[in-house]
Amino acid sequence: MSTVAGSDGLLRCPWAVASPDYQRYHDEEWGRPVAGEAALFERLSLEAFQAGLSWITILRKRPAFRAAFAGFDPAAVARFTDADRDRLMADAGIVRNRAKIDAVIANARALLQLPAGESLEELLQQHRADPQRPAPKPPRTYPLPLPNPPPWPRP
């Protein structure tokens, strides 16, 4: 991967010099482990809100998300009511997508249903890739498409 010098002369990934928000994220968070229930719940929730949008949009709205979702405390979010959902849908500081809001609330409730002594961090750890697993092959090593591919199904 190539690097470019930021305004401070430090080398960074090319995407990181596009804005001060990206630079701060790159320098302080990107590629670093996330630990703790609230921090992991926040990251998963924000990743869900990011679907279909750019990450910079979510980074810029993150303070409003934190305020709107009780600091991403799963127990607090799990107690959200229909009135809270309405409040969130009216909050211009966050992404107002009912399905995503409902998913965050449902996920908080699901976290509270984990077996005693099990945490989100442990659950995620169970699904982490084996560090000994070889890296995927580069795309150029995969076979080319068939010379006469079958036609796409038509409705």
* pLDDT 10s digits, 49-84: 999 999 999 999 999 999 999 999 999 999 999 999
Residues with catalytic function? 25, 47, 55
Query: Is the CB of residue 77 less than 8 Å from the CB of residue 40?
Result: no
Domains along the chain with CATH numbers: 1-32 (no CATH), 35-115 (1.10.340.30)
Q: Which amino acid is at 102?
A: D
* Gap between the Cα atoms of 101 and 84, Å rounded: 10
Which among 128, 119, 28 has a CA at the least distance from the CA of 75?
A: 119
Torsion region of 117: left, alpha or beta (phi above 0 gives left; psi -120 to 50 gives alpha):
left
So what's the pLDDT on residue 66? 98
* Gap between the Cα atoms of 72 and 43, Å rounded: 9
Locate 18 and state its tokens.
């596009």
So what's the pLDDT on residue 117? 87
So what's the pLDDT on residue 1? 65
* Gap between the Cα atoms of 134 and 123, Å rounded: 23
pLDDT per residue as tens, the chain (155 positions)? 688 888 888 899 999 999 999 999 999 999 898 999 999 999 999 999 999 999 999 999 999 999 999 999 999 999 999 999 999 999 999 999 999 999 999 999 999 999 998 999 998 888 888 888 888 777 777 676 656 666 666 55
